[in-house]
Structures are given as C-alpha cells and as structure tokens.
Structure 1
Amino acid sequence: MQSKFIESASNTLLLLLFFMAAVSYNGKLFGYKSQDLLSGKKEFVEILPPTHTQLEHLGLENMQLEEDSKGIWRIKNSSENERVVNTLAFSKGIYGFGGPIPMYLYLDKSNTIKQIVLGENSETPDFLASVLQDGIVSQWLGKNTEKMSNIMPDALSGATMTSNAINFSIQKTLDVVDNKSSSRYWWTVLDIKTIIALLVIFLGLIISSIKSKKKKHLRTAMLVLNTGVLGIWCGKFISLNILLGWVANGMNLLTSGVVFLMLLLSVLMPLFFKNKKSYYCNWICPFGSAQELAGRLSKKKIKIGAKFMQILKHTREVITLCVFVGMWLGMASDIANYEPFSAFIFQHASVAVLLIAGLGMLTAVFISRPWCRFVCPTGQVLSWMNKMN
C-alpha cells in the first residue's frame, strides 16, 4: 500500500514538473501569462496592424491605413473601400500545433480576398512552409463568403491542426466581417476523415474489451486501421508538440476534438479497467501500431542482454526528463520537432523526421516496438498520467 502511494505521488510530481517546464518554456498556461496565473488575469491579445514589410507582401507598400474597428484597417484614399483585416481579432481559440496563427487579409469592397500574409506565430517553420506550399493559403485568394463552397471539402477541413487553424481562422473572419452567421464554421469539422477517425477509435474501445480467442485477429485489424486510417489518411495522433500547445493556449474541440478524445481515453481507461498500461499507446497510437505490424515481418528477433535491458528500461524516462530540461533552456520545440509521428503527414514532414521514423520502423522488425518502449517522451508523459491514481 505504501509503495503504491509512493509510486502515485512520484508520478504526480513528474507530471507537475512537465506542466512547470511547459509554463517556463511558453511563458503561459492555458492562455494565462505565467506572471498572471495567481491573479487570474487572462493574457491580453494585442491586435496589431501590419508592419511595413507585411504591407509590402500584401502589395500595399505605398499605402496608408486608418483603423476602422478592432482588427480592421481601411486603406486611405481608396475608392474601392479596400481593407486589411487581422484574423486574430476574429478567431479566438483556434490554434495550430504551436498556438494561434494570425493572418492579414487584404479585402476588396465585396470582402473578396486579394492577398494573405501570415503574422508572427509559433509553428515549426519548415512544417508551416510545407503546408503553405500545399496551397492551404493560396486556395482562399479570390474567395469570399459566397465562394467558400468552391473550396474542396478535403482542403477546407485540412489534414493537420496547422491547416485546420489556417482554414477555420480565415473562414470565421470572412463570416464576421461580412455579417453572416458563422454556425457552419462548427459543422465543417465533421468531415469524412473526422467521422471515420472517430469510428476507428470507438472500434478500438470495443475490441480492447473483448475476451475471445479471436482477439489476436481483431487486434491485427485494429493495428492496420490505426496505421492506415488514423495515421496515414487522417494524420491524427498525440505528440509532445500538441501537448505543449494545449498547455500554453488551452484546447479547442473544433480543431483538436479527435486528438483530445484519444487523450481522454488514455486517461480514463486505466481508471475503469485498473490497467496501468497506456490505452492510447497500446490500442490507438498509429506509430506504435505500425511498429507492431513491422515486428510481425520477421520471427527472428535481436536478444537484448538482461543487464542492457535494465538500462533500456529507464532510457525513456531519462530522455523525457532531458526534454523537461530543454524546456527550461528554451530548446523544447527543437527536441519535440523530431518525434516521428508527423512522418504520417509525409508530404509536410522534414527529412530528419522521415529518417527517424524509417529507422524506428526498421528496428521494429527485429526489436519489439523500440520507439514506444525506449524513447517516446509523449508515451512517458501519458504513462505518468495513468499511474497517478
């Protein structure tokens, strides 16, 4: 009983260290600045006009602006009633992987977008650049609220939290400045990928509770669905970057509902079934599932010596604690960017991430789920959550 209490207390302490490190790195917790946490004063989001450089990118380098209302500036001496709008004023609670993604929209008198420039944000530069090259922003040029339906549903819903944040921010901003209802903004989240992803997660919930000799075959089917549907097709997974973003800014169900459900099940399932293993890691995680499938390609496995295994049992904890130190030193984002999960969104993933994921998969053929067991900081944080009770 005493040892159980000590384990629970130590895991709770480690989880608190994670939150403290995240607050130290981001300077805020759930939208509150760290210095204002005790006072309860919510972070004030300053809506800034575009800089001279941003005006140049908008094609307005020789123009002057005058404020019309919060987040909206009119172009002086323009006979076309042209305006520049900062989406940050109209997209509260919409976040990408790293937080809000403010944009400046150059609108004509019919609220048609003539140009878009991104403001300062905390997204991974290489990842964001790849998303932009994919046309997530350019698809909106020439669009207004009447022409939104011309955008393909798959592009509108987006494949990642970053593209979702960009699309929803622009969509909601256009609705607000055009004095139209933004109720449809909530329905666009229910695209086919989201619905199928939810079905796969609930199917995993059912299969994990079945006690049958055929469960091995059902598990194989679940591993394939996790890898193919949740990973490759939908790009839905929990990562350290996502957790850091939620800790800093809070979580929005519109852009993160599926991933939040994954986290919720990972926390709740051990409470009901008294299983200290992470439900997410064992039954939902796309990369964990891919590794297990890779392990079935060969019956020959590398035998790890008992002494070396004793060391490996603690490497994941050490790596995660090193990440905490990195947060305090301001390097957490660099570390978290190399988790292999984003390799599922291969068209936007960096070469380094693809190489790490490939190496993990190759190793998994001969060693059972090596990333999950010996490296994954996200899995370690989830493990601490499960062992708090």
Structure 2
Amino acid sequence: MKQNNAFIQKLMSLFFIVCMLSIAAMNRDNKLFGYDFGEADKQSAAVAVNNDTLSVQPDGSFIVNTKPLAKDVQGYGGPVPLRIHVSKDGVVAAIEAEPNAETPDFFNQAKLLLTRWQGKTVDVAMAETDKVDAVSGATFSSNAIIANMQRGLAYANRHTAQSKAADDASGTILEGSGSSSASGWTIGGIAALIVVLLGAIVPLFYKSRRWHKVQLVLNVVVLGLWTGTFVSFTLLMRLFSGGLSLAALATLAAPLLMVVVALFYPLAGKPGHYCAHVCPFGSAQELAGKLTRRKLRVPVRLNKALNMFRTVLWAVLMVLLLTGTWVAWIDYELFTAFLYSSASVWVVVLAVLFLVLSVWVPRPYCRYVCPTGTLLRGFKR
C-alpha cells in the first residue's frame, strides 16, 4: 500500500510538472508541442495578397518569410524564423531575424552568420550555405539560422524562376532543401549521447567510485564544455512549446534522453539520478569537492534558511514565468556558463564562485539555488 501511494505521489508530481510547463509554453509562445494555437486566427485574418511566405514589393523586390517553410526547424528555445529581402535583380539585400525565444546572448553571436549571405545573388548564397559553419557556443541557434536560410533561399530561387507559381506555394517545404547541417548527426552529438547513456544505465547495475569519477569527468568535458548539453528550463520550454520533429531528433537526441532520465527515472524509484550521475554542472561541483577532505559545517539553522531561500526563489521565478512578467530568467541559469564564449559575464562569474565554494560545501548550487533541480525535487516529496 505504501509503495502504491508513493508511486501515485510521483505520478501526480510528474503531472504537475507537465501542466506547469505546458501553461508556461502557452503563455510565452501560444504553442504547445508544436501546435500553434494562434495560427487559425492568423489565417482567418490574412488578406489574400501574396501569401504568408512571399511578399512582393511594388519595385519588383520580394521578401521571403521562412516561418511557414521551416516549422520543423528548432533552435535551442524554439523556431528561429528569418525574413530574407531579395532585390529585383536577385540579390540578397538584407536578412532580418524575426522574434524568437533564443537566449539573447547566444543568438546575438549566431546572428553574425547573416552577413555571409548578404550582398550575394540567390544562386551564390545557396552555394555559400554549405560552407557556413555554426558559431561555437551557439550551435543550436546557428544551425537553425543555416537551415532557415537553406529553405528560404531555395524558395526565393523557385520564385525567381517561376514567379506565378510561388503564390500557391506558401506552405511548401522544398525537397532537397532540408537542414542537413542542422539536423544531421555530429561527432559531438554522438559523443554526448554515449555519455548520457553511460550515466543513465551504468550506475543502475555497477557501483564503483572509480567509474563514478570517470563519469563525472565525461559529464563535465563532453556534456558541459564540448557540447553544452544539459537539462534546463530553457530546454524544457523549448520541448513543450515546439515539440520534437524528426528533423531535430538527431540534434536533440542527447538532451531528450536527459529529460527522460530527469522526469521518468523517479517513477522507477530513482529520484535524483539525473542530478547525481548526468548533470554536468552538478558533476563539476562534485569534482571540485574532491580537491580536499576539509568541509565547512553548515549550521542546522542556516541550512534550513538556505533551503527555504531555494523554495521561495523557485516560487518567485515560477510566478514570473507563468505570468509572463519576466520569462528571460530561464536563459541565465548557471548551466549556460559552460557555453563560456557566448554566456553572460556575470553568469560565468557566478558559476566560478559556486565551483570554488563547492570545494568546501558539497554541491552548493544544487542544494540551495538550482531552479531546475527544485522542479525535479518535487518527485522526492
């Protein structure tokens, strides 16, 4: 009976998490698992001039909006639509980024790629796309931009050759213009998936301090510093808002497995498995703690106060998220410090301070601050 009650409590906790993230996704993007609840209103209000993808200007130039063309292409926070301005001579005159849910610091780095296509003819720009590499530290946003450019340029090329046929092609995703660079397997992605699999499976059957240290190092080096792969509110919101398409499955394989471990392992009686065996920032803190055996004793009252602080902080952040008052905080959890080339300076500084503190206090960020960890801790209560 007790086991059944515990399982029901865990199931209700998972239901609560799903409901909360669904509400947050709806408030922020008006979308849930890829379904745009505002799309019907947009279509009913649309005037039958040009179409949603193509807008022809009086001077003969035209603008391609990649939003309908690349609905299945996701950055880290969700879709990254672009508006490609093409002159009547077939030259890419300008490229604008539409509003998106990417982390501003990372997306500003990725936007530098847009200059690679500007000023080139559509044909030359299409050929240039295959040579463009993702910006280090902003891989998801970069790949999404590249994929949007591939599809947008292919559509522009088609309009140039068949201008009359373009009016009926608003929702068409051209064959052969898919995002191979954005959706294909990479060495880093495969390595991250292997490391997550090791962390998810090996501790279930094999208990070894030596192997655990190896896993911690792999988590920090591969998941953290190399690929920037971790569970955060940004990732959870991205999945609940944009869903998961086949095109993005390869790119998101490792993060998706992380989410499975974090959310569903507790149902099998393994609460905290993700935090202890997979999370790269938690691993970094644990490794730092192994530098010395001398630990600071946290007084009972202070420990209670810090736990209360974590709970109150989480509650405040949830109110900000669910009401849409300040959603941007999800982009600045300390996990993003692993993407040091693009992360905010203060995020990196705070991450370093917590790592230094973790030498004497076991996992201080995990225990007293982490909003994502607090969300997952719901399973333990």
| Amino acid across the alignment from 2:292 | S
Aligned partner of 2:164 in structure 1 is none
TM-fit CA distance, 1:344: 1.0
Query: Are residues 19 and 204 of structure 1, via their aligned partners in 2, closer, same or farther at CA, if it must alter by over 3 Å?
Result: closer
TM-fit CA distance, 1:162: 2.2
Aligned partner of 2:346 in structure 1 is 352
Query: Are residues 330 and 207 of structure 1, via their aligned partners in 2, closer, same or farther at CA, if it must alter by over 3 Å?
Result: same
TM-fit CA distance, 1:26: 1.6
Aligned partner of 2:372 in structure 1 is 378
- Structure 1 segments unaligned to the other structure (5+ residues): 50-65
TM-score, normalising length: structure 2: 0.79
Quote the Cα distance in structure 2 between the aligned partners of 1:101 and 1:362. 37
- For residues 185-334 of structure 1, the aligned pairs below 5 Å read 185-186=179-180, 188-212=183-207, 215-252=208-245, 254=248, 255-272=251-268, 274-277=269-272, 279-334=273-328
Aligned partner of 1:147 in structure 2 is 128
TM-fit CA distance, 1:264: 1.4
Contact conserved, 1:158 with 1:164, CA < 8 A, in 2? no
Quote the Cα distance in structure 2 between the aligned partners of 1:9 and 1:151. 45
Query: Are residues 306 and 347 of structure 1, via their aligned partners in 2, closer, same or farther at CA, if it must alter by over 3 Å?
Result: same
Quote the Cα distance in structure 2 between the aligned partners of 1:149 and 1:20. 36
Aligned partner of 1:91 in structure 2 is 70
Contact conserved, 1:21 with 1:327, CA < 8 A, in 2? no
- Percent identity over the alignment? 30
Quote the Cα distance in structure 2 between the aligned partners of 1:70 and 1:42. 11
Quote the Cα distance in structure 2 between the aligned partners of 1:83 and 1:206. 53
| Amino acid across the alignment from 1:359 | L
Quote the Cα distance in structure 2 between the aligned partners of 1:28 and 1:293. 41
TM-fit CA distance, 1:356: 1.8
| Amino acid across the alignment from 1:4 | A
TM-fit CA distance, 1:367: 0.7
Quote the Cα distance in structure 1 between the aligned partners of 2:229 and 2:101. 20
TM-score, normalising length: structure 1: 0.78
Determine helix, strand or coil for the equivalent of 2:130: helix
Quote the Cα distance in structure 2 between the aligned partners of 1:131 and 1:171. 16
Quote the Cα distance in structure 2 between the aligned partners of 1:192 and 1:225. 15
Determine helix, strand or coil for the equivalent of 2:312: helix
Quote the Cα distance in structure 2 between the aligned partners of 1:25 and 1:204. 34
Query: Are residues 108 and 225 of structure 1, via their aligned partners in 2, closer, same or farther at CA, if it must alter by over 3 Å?
Result: farther
More helix by share: 2
Determine helix, strand or coil for the equivalent of 1:121: coil
Determine helix, strand or coil for the equivalent of 1:193: helix
Instruction: Please tell me the root mean square deviation across aligned C-alpha atoms, in Å.
Output: 3.4
Quote the Cα distance in structure 2 between the aligned partners of 1:101 and 1:313. 38
Contact conserved, 1:99 with 1:122, CA < 8 A, in 2? yes
| Amino acid across the alignment from 2:130 | S
Contact conserved, 1:175 with 1:182, CA < 8 A, in 2? no
TM-fit CA distance, 1:290: 1.0
| Amino acid across the alignment from 2:197 | F
Counterpart pick for 2:113 among 125, 128, 136: 136
Query: Are residues 314 and 297 of structure 1, via their aligned partners in 2, closer, same or farther at CA, if it must alter by over 3 Å?
Result: same
TM-fit CA distance, 1:238: 1.4
- Structure 2 segments unaligned to the other structure (5+ residues): 159-173
Determine helix, strand or coil for the equivalent of 1:85: strand
Determine helix, strand or coil for the equivalent of 1:104: strand
Determine helix, strand or coil for the equivalent of 2:127: coil
Determine helix, strand or coil for the equivalent of 1:337: helix
Contact conserved, 1:204 with 1:283, CA < 8 A, in 2? yes
4+ runs of 1 displaced by more than 4 Å? 41-49, 66-69, 108-112, 176-180
Quote the Cα distance in structure 2 between the aligned partners of 1:69 and 1:28. 22
| Amino acid across the alignment from 2:114 | V
